[in-house]
Amino acid sequence: MSRFFRFIMGAVLLAPMPLSAENYSYADFEASVPHIDLETCPEGLAEGDVFCRVSMNNDALHVYVFESGGMQEFVALHSFYEDEFSLRFGQ
């Protein structure tokens, strides 16, 4: 391995990472993830002024939590696998 190549690789590996990632908003999520709107968030998953959406992938349900106000930023993701949930429709 040449000295120049080692220098470049060292510089790349030691380069500072961005201090914070870009925020993920509901607008980004809505345009890119097939989902179902939930009337209310499942009990115990979210606190405060938030709303939830759910998607299904393979054997898991994924509940996404977003802030209700402002930019509607992503707050949390909760995943439930096939033995951790049951589906009920209606009352």
Residues whose CB is less than 8 angstroms from the CB of residue 35 and which lie 6 or more positions away in sequence, other chains included:
29, 53, 54, 55, 64
The total number of residues shown for the chain amounts to: 91
Beta bridge pairs of residue 76: 65
Residue 4 lies in a domain: no
| In-domain check, residue 46 | yes
The four Cα atoms 40, 43, 47, 50 give a dihedral, to 10 degrees, of -20
DSSP 24: P
Instruction: Give the pLDDT of residue 27.
Output: 93
- pLDDT, average across residues 74-79: 93
In a domain, 13, yes or no: no
pLDDT digits (tens, 9 = 90+) for 2-50: 665 555 555 445 545 454 457 889 999 999 999 999 999 988 888 889 9
In a domain, 55, yes or no: yes
Domain count, the chain: 1
In a domain, 7, yes or no: no
Residues 66 and 35 sit within 8 Å (Cβ to Cβ): no
Virtual torsion, Cα 9, 12, 15, 21, nearest 10 deg? -150
For 45, the domain range is 20-91
